[in-house]
Chains A and B, each alone.
Chain A
Amino acid sequence: MSDTVIEVRDLRTHFFTRAGVLPAVDGVSFSVRRGEVLGIVGESGSGKSVTGLSILGLVDAPGRIVGGEIMFRGRNLTELTSHELRAVRGHQIAMIFQDPMMTLNPVLRVSTQMIEAVRAHEKVSKAEARQRARDALGRVGIPSPDERLDAYPHEFSGGMRQRVAIAIALLHSPDLIIADEPTTALDVTIQAQILAEVQKLATETGMALIWITHDLAVVSSLADRIAVMYAGRIVEDGPAPQVLSAPLHPYTVGLIGSVPSRNRRGAELAQIPGMTPSLLDLPEGCAFRPRCPRALDQCRQPQPMRLLKPRQEARCCNPHLEPLEVTG
């Protein structure tokens, strides 16, 4: 497709630790089109954050991209030098992290940091950069941006800080924004404000967005497509309404069943037994097999991604094809 912004093919990022090789991301493929919001959902250790970091070349040792390609604007990002990658990072692809206090330098004024970010990629005067920074703050809904521009990060509340981080990401009107759990640390009312802001920006600017989260409810309100990750692989990928209403992979079914508000009050939650396996000691074949209620003998074989419904794929040989029931 011509309007594909980014295409990730068979990405493998492994961590070489003393205890052994951890396949944190092991054969992940997906693509995002212009104006599309892709939600990557997974529990801790599923590799969702490492996927985001790999795209930007931010994986630190002992981690390394060992295979696959990341095609962005006709270039393979995994082959770029660190210098070339710096020109892409923050300019064409921006990232928003969970904790804005970690992305902002606590001893510099917001204006200093934003002007620096503008001038890192474009030759503009300081005054012009300041104007751009001011406009970006205004766009994310920070009241009286002129005065707030010269404040220090600690003078902002948590929600406002996250807005500043989003404003910095927006400075160069990137083609793609990768957001890693950006609302997890925020209160419900503030989270709703940020989600509303992001929703508006995504439709206005037509940028693509990868939203990484553990919270199915958050992506369900935001994403066009959902990719569910488990133990370093995407186990299900499809349009958000389909994945949520008719999930194919037993893990997705279990994940949706575990959400309290989806269950009748006081009823036993449909829990997934056991816990996520250690990446050092993954079961052969399907990694979900030991916890799966539908496991078969053939699950010991490696499972390829299969197109089981229109535009909806899953890595499962015994997929959930019957309609989903509400417990209780």
Chain B
Amino acid sequence: MSQPILSLQGLTKRFEKKLDFAEKIAARLGSSVHAWQVHAVDGVDLDIAQGEVVGLVGESGSGKSTIGRMIAGLLQPSEGRILYRDRDITELRRAASRKAALKIQMIFQDPMSSLNPRMRVKDIIGEAPAVHGIVPRSKLRPYVDEMMQRVGLDPSVRDRYPHQFSGGQRQRIGIARALAVQPDFLICDESVAALDVSIQAQVLNLFMRLRKEFGLTYLFISHDLGVVEHLSDRVVILYLGRVVEVAPTEALFSGANHPYTQALLDEVPRISPEKRQFHPIRGEIPSPMNPPPGCHFHTRCPKVFDRCRVERPALRPIAPGRLSACHLNDVQTASGSRPTTTTIPRESIYSRRG
């Protein structure tokens, strides 16, 4: 891999609630109040190459959005480093950090809550480039028009307010706003989750077109494996704040290594003309306030054995470009057999018919 554009090193985020004065007194008097800590993100390492689309997949509480927000500079990491073009953005000085922050833009899930309802579209898109001196104010209008055209909005609606648009169009405004500061790294946090299927397809097509046109790098955060499979070059699977598997998209979807990934892929509803039987994994994602020891997944894993309950599995290479954090890989490599992989039947009746 060429020099990564973005590199996460041991990135950790803990949300803490400390005791306030009254609670400290209460605790001293024997009350059961206590400080708590949530390990939202726990030592994540990841390199993203220039022009790559990385899909970040996980269920709620897996820390995927927290990672996105730390990279975008909206949250401070508790530990670890975020290197953007070899410079730690959490330690940069003001001017330099602002410059780096501009190059990393985020597109949110709900455009209605991320667009100021009292601003006109032209101001939403034009404010940042004007403030940061990317475009002189005299040339702002044609610049905003150009941005709107790029995302498939008619520039004649520049004087409207966000509520006058449909959900898909609002998402396009959010994308235009991000593009207006000429970023080279886009974080899409569930950016198509709230959209209808037909509108979702339009926005996904737009993302792919923009990638080709501007050579953008994406971190695509989603719980929707179908969307991630379609768009990403590489997929990172998170579980309770830890990376459990990293693999090129095709390799992952044709044979997942980690039992959690296997379960996740098995349970994605797919369009198939036959009814199917679900064989869900038991239980639910444990609370990040009190994560299980050892491998976080051992409470639900069908292949659990003693070691999983005590020792945290390291994220280790299992094939070129593939990493997985599972003790089973050691066992099977030692006994000479290949790691287990499942294949999901990819054929559909469209190919079977005739």
Interface residues of A (CB under 8 A from B): 43-44, 157-160, 187-193, 195-196, 199, 214-218, 220-224, 240-242, 244-245, 254-263, 265-266, 268-272, 275-276, 323-326
Contact = CB atoms under 8 A, between A and B. Distances in A.
B284 interface: yes
Contacts of A223: 275
B197 interface: yes
Interface string B336-351: 0000000000001111
Contacts of B349: 241, 245
B198 A326 contact: no
Interface stretch (B82-90, B201-209, B315-323): B201-209
B225 interface: yes
Nearest to B275: A221
Contacts of A43: 196-199
A18 to B, nearest CB: 16
B112 to A, nearest CB: 13
18 contacts: A43-B198, A187-B59, A189-B284, A189-B285, A190-B59, A190-B284, A192-B267, A195-B280, A221-B276, A240-B275, A255-B197, A259-B271, A260-B230, A261-B270, A265-B230, A275-B168, A275-B169, A276-B166
A270 B201 contact: yes
Contacts of A245: 273, 349-350, 353
A25 B62 CA distance: 40
Interface of B: 59-60, 166-169, 196-202, 204-205, 208, 223-227, 229-231, 249-250, 263-264, 266-281, 284-285, 348-351, 353-354
Contacts of A159: 284
Contact of A241 (B269, B274, B284): B274
Contact of B271 (A262, A271, A325): A262
A257 to B, nearest CB: 8
B219 to A, nearest CB: 17
A223 B197 CA distance: 19
Given A221-B276, A265-B250, A271-B205, A189 B263 contact: yes
Contacts of B168: 275
B172 to A, nearest CB: 11
A108 B92 CA distance: 52
Given A215-B269, A269-B230, A187 B350 contact: no
Contacts of B277: 196, 199
B326 to A, nearest CB: 17
Nearest to B60: A187
A255 B276 CA distance: 21
B229 A261 contact: yes
B165 to A, nearest CB: 10
A240 B273 contact: yes
B198 A271 contact: yes
Contacts of B270: 217, 220-221, 261
A324 B348 CA distance: 12
Contacts of A191: 267, 269
Nearest to B206: A271
B59 A189 contact: yes
Contacts of B199: 43, 275
Contacts of A216: 197, 271
* Most chain B beta carbons < 10 A, residue from A189, A254, A275: A189
A251 to B, nearest CB: 9
A323 B354 contact: yes
Contact of A259 (B205, B226, B273): B226
Given A187-B60, A266-B231, A220 B198 contact: no
Nearest to A241: B273
A260 B227 contact: yes
Contact of A260 (B226, B266, B285, B351): B226
Contacts of A256: 271
Nearest to A222: B275
Given A188-B223, A214-B197, A220-B272, A260 B229 contact: yes
A244 B272 contact: yes
Given A187-B285, A221-B270, 13 more contacts: A157-B284, A192-B269, A241-B349, A255-B197, A257-B201, A260-B224, A261-B225, A265-B250, A270-B201, A271-B201, A272-B201, A275-B166, A276-B196
Contacts of A217: 226, 268-271
Contact of A244 (B230, B273, B280): B273
Given A221-B272, A221-B278, A260 B204 contact: yes
B205 A268 contact: yes
A245 B277 CA distance: 19
Nearest to A275: B166
Nearest to B226: A261
Nearest to B266: A192
Contacts of B166: 275-276
A254 B200 CA distance: 12
B284 to A, nearest CB: 6
B268 A188 contact: yes
A195 B197 contact: no
Contacts of B263: 189
Leading 8 A-B pairs by shortest Cβ distance: A241-B273, A260-B230, A192-B267, A258-B201, A261-B226, A196-B278, A217-B269, A43-B196
Contacts of B167: 44
A214 B168 CA distance: 16
A282 to B, nearest CB: 16
Nearest to A218: B269
A272 B201 CA distance: 8
A325 B350 contact: yes
Contacts of A263: 230
Nearest to A217: B269
A24 B160 CA distance: 27
A324 B350 CA distance: 7
A325 B351 CA distance: 8
Nearest to B278: A196
